[in-house]
Amino acid sequence: MTLFFRLLPWEYAIRNLFRRPLRTCLTFAGLTTVIVLVFVVVGFIRGLERSLAVSGDPQTAVIFSLGMGENLEYSSIPMRTNDLVPASVAGIQERFGQNYVSPELYLGTQVGVGEREPSMGLVRGVTRSALLVRWRVEIEEGDWPGTGEVMIGRMAATKFGANEAEARIGQSITFEGRSWRISGVFSAAGSAFESEVWCRLDELQQAMKRQDLSIVAVTLSPTGDFADLDLFCKERLDLELQVMRETDYYAGLQKDYRPIRWLAWLVVLLVSGAGVFAGLNTMYGSVVGRIPELSMLRTLGFVRRAIVVSLIQEGMLLAAAASLLAALIALVLVNGAAVRFTMGAFSLRIDSIAVLIGCGVGLLLGFFGAIPPAIRALRMPVVDGLKSV
């Protein structure tokens, strides 16, 4: 068995791509479209994973009602919990006499923007201590909300289906039977907080006629022990509390969204499969029209494997060019695009992993799309191939 065989010149595959410009352009456009779709789906997965991954802080714990699981919006704990926690637990972060403890009222409610139909959104009633605990939050525009005002995350407008003009500073939104003026816009390093609406805790309690809290968020000092918080919650049976690390909470959400991520990967597989079949169809047409040429190459002494390698080179060159163009389109148009998702919103993310997956899928399309038609054409006897038209 011959281990080495003479290959066709590399330039032969390149010249063949330009000999049929229309067919090459159509194949190139089809491959680019398929790969861009792959980038969109992978960007969705990476954006969702990043949004949940950066939302948690390992030094922050969340105290909420016992038995609520991960449904913080249904939690209800006494208002005095906010004072009891720093008084009873050592190791809480402190600065200039201010404890890193944030009492919050957190709920999902119908939010109306402009003349649009109200949509479900997340509203969080907070005090200024929230900026100590939620250290990633930065006010990008405007000011901290005052009386009758709210501060919205930079992704909140996308969540509510509104445009920038309807959600800019000075405009109004409605929830809980009241109209609230937008006083500022904040960012939070791409975390889930960016799709929320923040207002003053006392005003939200007044609007909802509630005097309780949903959660108390606590930041532990480097020497603090999470076990102390857990012990406090277990000892105060009258309060019916439980505590969870914020990272564990968002890790639990990632597990809940796992079926959606698997569905997205299935979409990637289906889109890639459609691209393979489209490439097969195009390559079949290209190879069938070149049967006399391929038979002549065999007559000149080139073995089947050399011709198959040359056809694979053509497919890989076309797929590589399509992958580069698709990556450029994804980085310019897809990366950072905002999408709505259940109770929040996040940005599509085309990072290095997404580029690797997208370009890898593109190269696989070029490779597997070229092999079957090449094998089929080369199975024809040389004499019949030379006589075919």
Tens-digit pLDDT profile for residues 210-269: 899 999 999 999 888 899 999 999 988 888 899 999 888 888 877 777 787 788 788 878
The b-or-e profile of 332-354 (16+ CB within 10 A means b, else e) is eebbebbbebeebbbbbbbeeeb
What pLDDT score does 184 carry? 93
Q: Are 327 and 359 in contact (CB under 8 A)?
A: yes
**Residue-by-residue DSSP string for 135-182:** TT-EEEEE----TTEEEEETTHHHHTT--TTTTSTT-EEEETTEEEEE
Q: Are 12 and 303 in contact (CB under 8 A)?
A: no
pLDDT-derived band at 1 (thresholds 50, 70, 90) equals very low
Residue 376 has pLDDT above 50, yes or no: yes
- Average pLDDT (309-330) is 87
Site of tokens 């939104």: 173
What pLDDT score does 206 carry? 92
pLDDT-derived band at 330 (thresholds 50, 70, 90) equals very high
Average model confidence (pLDDT) for the chain? 83
Residue 139's φ and ψ, nearest 5 degrees, are -80, 110
Q: Are 297 and 317 in contact (CB under 8 A)?
A: no
Angstrom distance (rounded) from CA 156 to CA 8: 58
Beta strand residue intervals within the chain, DSSP E: 60-65, 94-95, 98-99, 101-113, 119-126, 138-142, 149-153, 172-175, 178-187, 196-200, 215-219, 241-245, 338-341, 344-347
Cβ neighbours of residue 2 closer than 8 Å, sequence gap 6 or more: 303
Residue 351 has pLDDT above 80, yes or no: yes
Residue 291 has pLDDT above 80, yes or no: no
Continuous segment of H or E residues that includes residue 17:
helix 10-19
What pLDDT score does 3 carry? 43
What pLDDT score does 53 carry? 77
Task: State the DSSP code for 74.
Answer: G
What pLDDT score does 97 carry? 81
Tens-digit pLDDT profile for residues 111-134: 888 777 888 888 999 999 999 999
Tens-digit pLDDT profile for residues 78-121: 999 999 999 888 889 988 888 999 999 998 888 888 777 888 88
Name which residue leads in pLDDT, 56 or 247: 247
What pLDDT score does 217 carry? 94
